[in-house]
Structure 1
């Protein structure tokens, strides 16, 4: 598979991951990660891929969480890919009904497992409220 095809696969994986988060499909989230994958959000503890199954689904649903990635750069090196993206998120506080929009810089390390790109590490930092 050439670099162009691999880049397209990574883009599609990230698009599908966003759709999964946006629909609060918590059962599908671990499938995007390697078995030893890590989610490392700013200000919170690091979660393994299967810890995400327990912790994320209710939050995503209760807060009507939505995310959209804008990929800025993809670098592929053998079985690893490094992705820099900007993300816009929206969440609605279920108590107050107030919607918060944020923008962040997101960094992914993907690892190729059995011809599929999986998230090995995902970290981000909030840039600003919008």
Structure 2
């Protein structure tokens, strides 16, 4: 995908610079960022405990400003994770919604020490997400 400076300016005026950056349009300028095209979104979100989730579980939902044609490849990690100790938490990350319209991620925290029986703290972490739309180039029929 390639955009002109006028398209980029119009999009910034319509949805703002932050959402325009999330869409990857700054990289889509000819000769820009990554060789002229990029469909990669990089998000950072502060996810806190939700009343809709059990204690220690975080839920991130993101609706794309512009619908995509296909679902996406998704990489997620917890940005606040620190050195491991018996009081540290580890995370199980599941992509639970992956459609052209939206993305949903569930992050389950667990104690690093499997013998620890204390209640988990409320979820409160920064989450980093890299999303790249899948564009099929080869289709195999079995």
Range into which the TM-score falls when normalised by the shorter chain:
under 0.3
| TM-score, normalised with respect to structure 2 | 0.24
* Structure with a larger share of its residues in helix: 1
* Structure with a larger share of its residues in strand: 1
